[in-house]
Copies of this chain bind each other. A is one copy, B any other.
Amino acid sequence: MKIGFIGLGHMGAGMAARLCDAGQDVTVYNRTAARMQPLLEKGAKPAASVAEACAGDVVFTMLADDAAVSDVAFAPGGIVASLTADAIHVSCSTISVELSGQLARAHGRMQQGYLAVPVFGRPDAAAAGKLFLVAGGEPARLERVQPLLDIVGQRTYPLSQQPEAANLVKLSGNFLLASLIESLGEAMALVEKGGVDRHAYLDMLTSSLFNIPVYKNYGGMIAARRFEPAGFAAPLGQKDVRLLQAAAEELQVPLPFAGILRDRFLELRAHGGENLDWSAIGALAAKGAALDT
């Protein structure tokens, strides 16, 4: 199968490298061309344009946000204009439910395939092929690309035949993580003001009921009050809450925790937190309690 891969940021680079290392025929494209070099060394071919990356059977996209995906997909010479009939666009970016639906309809009109396959995991998991993949779209199309998904992820969850439902699931996952961060932030502020060492507290939590990496990693950042360098920057977390709320408004689902999270990100940004990791919202409860932070 001939594969195109568009978007070689921290996540995309690792995923594309996995495909190259597995001996696949991969053509890569990135707006900043220098980021293609490491992939070329692994045998990938360079594309000079989005259209060139769309010449094969399947094209992956892994981009930062709606604007980037929309541009690459809908611009003249973009994916929708360039992909051959029956070829498949595998969209891995965390984008809005609305844009994913637009992509599904646009590709459908061109007899092209469209799968939404957002991922859970950080850059190191991407590089190691350990991502979790949430898939939405037609089962027959998914079956065709499954061997490729098995290279980039440790497991694929086909959750809906509607592609955009996979994007909703991805957003909901980030909502669960942000809720976890906020709840840890509140709990730590409370016990710390009550005289308990927050590091010892976190150690207790994560060696008993909450013994998984997400509690350890985010809890550790909150306990250490160290939010740089950002693994996932606050503006991205804020964006995902915004997209979640937009989907919830469309579906008419009240989400009280999401409302709290929204305001946390606004407070963080108002005070200059745009370069911090999104877990920095976990320090705001301590600030509200006038603890030195």
Do residues B208 and A155 form an inter-chain contact, with CB atoms below 8 A? yes
Interface flag for A252 (CB, 8 Å): yes
When the two chains form their complex, are residues A208 and B120 in contact, meaning their CB atoms are under 8 A apart?
yes
Among the 9-residue stretches A18-26, A44-52, A140-148, A256-264, the one with 4 or more Cβ atoms under 8 Å from chain B is: A256-264
Q: How far is the CB of A162 from chain B (nearest CB, A)?
A: 6
Among A5-13, A30-38, A176-184, A221-229, the stretch that binds chain B is: A176-184
Closest to A172 in B: B187
A interface, over-half SS: helix
Q: Which of B97, B184, B201 sits near A159, CB closer than 8 Å?
A: B201
The answer to whether A173 touches B209 (Cβ under 8 A) is yes
Q: Are B120 and A160 in contact (CB under 8 A)?
A: no
Q: Which of B134, B162, B176 contacts A183 (CB 8 A)?
A: B176
Determine the residue in chain B with the shortest Cβ distance to A177: B209
Please judge, given known A-B contacts A257-B186, A289-B253, whether A196 and B270 are in contact too, CB under 8 Å: no
Q: Output the nearest chain B residue to A186 by Cβ-Cβ distance.
A: B255
Q: Are A257 and B255 in contact, with the CB atoms below 8 A?
A: no
A293 within 8 A of B: no
Closest CB pairs A-B (n = 7): A259-B259, A179-B183, A254-B263, A252-B270, A132-B208, A270-B290, A253-B289
A interface vs B, CB < 8 Å?
97, 120, 132, 134, 155, 157, 159-160, 162, 164-165, 168-169, 172-173, 175-177, 179-180, 182-184, 186-187, 189-191, 193-197, 200-201, 203-205, 207-214, 242, 244-245, 247-249, 251-260, 262-264, 266-267, 269-272, 285, 288-290
